[in-house]
Amino acid sequence: MRQWMSAMVISLLLLSSQAMAFDHSRWNTLLQQHVQPQRGGVATAVDYDGVAENREALQSYLDSLTAVTQGEFNAFSRDEKLAFLINAYNAFTVELILRENQPDSIRDIGSLFSSPWDKAFFSLLGESRTLDEPCSALDPVSSRVVEALIRSLKGRYTILMVTHNLAQARRLADSVTVCWLEGQCGCVVESNGCEQVFENPAHPITAAYCAGEAG
């Protein structure tokens, strides 16, 4: 059974604990069936072959996401909007990987002049979208809005944020996990409290990355 280590934001099982304006139950079921925690919860393994066998369920969920209008989305609460967008991002990422016949790495999708995040392969809220669009060239004002939303949710939810923006990670994170690619294998080189990672890193790769000497 083929499994991939994934950095997707799979913090969304919380949706089953409250009534939502949009029904994410099909996506939650797929996650529960085909995503397993690894290394004590530090990473997750996604069984893409298993998801492929449930392709109709995935497609049904994607169709329901696409059917939401901008007006309907605007009527969602703040938490519902966040859940909708994060779930949509993850679900369409899975769809892209399956559509491209499960390459060894998502980075193998595309070419020298394009990346998987540049591919406009789905529609959301009435427009053609790419996976890079939600965080591409975000201006400082919008960044502050997103960061304020994350801070407001921290007391209620566990939030996993994947970023290469060190300043943003330092502002927002309680704990930091540093992932690195060695050869063809991704690995966790350090996981500790935010202040510890930035002020006194235990691993030379972390120290070099934080100093701008690597990465």
pLDDT, one tens digit per residue, over 72-100 is 988 888 778 878 888 888 898 888 888 87
Domains of the chain, residue spans: 4-153, 166-210
Give the span between the Cα atoms of 91 and 152, in whole angstroms. 25
Read off the pTM.
Answer: 0.59
Kindly report the average pLDDT of the chain as a whole number. 76
